[in-house]
């Protein structure tokens, strides 16, 4: 599944970058988050989160690793997660640029692959649910940074 979007945040790029690369702050907006452990500061963290796809609910243990950090312009993240009978792999990228009146334009993209029980049972709902969760996540990020 591929997702992408653009969010304008009324804050300077350095402030947006600091929030988006701090797992403690970033995960305040993560839906279903149950636990967060920083494994290597500024590089790797592990999150435990639950996601529901219709009647199917799963708890994923996901390792996330920052790659190609170019502060405060661009970053990529690689994820690998497991749930009973399923796994998820993906990469995400964010590119920050200056917007009008001191705002920051965040262009993001994610390429996610889910395999196993969840993929076979919830395939029809996965894209819609993931898009809804992603939209809610970025709306939360925008509000937290702006206030």
Q: How far apart are CA 127 and CA 78, in angstroms?
A: 19
Task: Give the CATH fold of the 2-146 domain.
Answer: Alpha-D-Glucose-1,6-Bisphosphate; Chain A, domain 4 (3.30.530)
List the domain boundaries for the chain. Answer: 2-146
Beta-carbon contacts of residue 12 (< 8 Å; ≥ 6 apart)? 102, 104
Q: What is the pLDDT of residue 58?
A: 85
For the chain, residues with pLDDT lower than 50 are none
Q: What is the pLDDT of residue 129?
A: 78
Long-range contacts from 89-92, C-beta under 8 angstroms, 24+ separation: 89/113
Which tokens hold the place of 137?
């996540």
Q: What is the pLDDT of residue 132?
A: 84
Which tokens hold the place of 128?
């819609």
Q: Tokens 């592990």 map to which residue?
A: 46
Q: What is the pLDDT of residue 78?
A: 97
Q: What is the pLDDT of residue 120?
A: 79
Q: What is the pLDDT of residue 147?
A: 87
Q: What is the pLDDT of residue 105?
A: 98
């Amino acid at each position: 599944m591929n997702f992408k979007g653009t969010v304008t945040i009324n804050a300077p790029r350095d402030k947006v970058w600091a929030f988006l690369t701090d797992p403690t702050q970033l995960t305040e907006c993560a839906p279903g988050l149950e636990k967060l452990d920083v494994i290597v500061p500024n590089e790797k963290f592990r999150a435990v989160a639950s996601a529901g796809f219709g009647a199917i609910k799963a708890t994923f243990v996901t390792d996330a690793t920052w790659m190609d950090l170019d502060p405060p312009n661009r970053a990529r993240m690689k994820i690998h997660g497991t749930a009973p009978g399923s796994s998820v792999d993906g990469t995400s990228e964010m590119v920050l640029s200056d917007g009008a009146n001191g705002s920051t334009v965040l262009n993001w993209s994610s390429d996610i692959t889910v395999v196993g029980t969840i993929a076979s049972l919830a395939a029809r709902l996965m894209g819609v649910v993931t898009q809804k969760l992603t939209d809610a996540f970025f709306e939360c990020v925008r509000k937290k940074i702006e206030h």
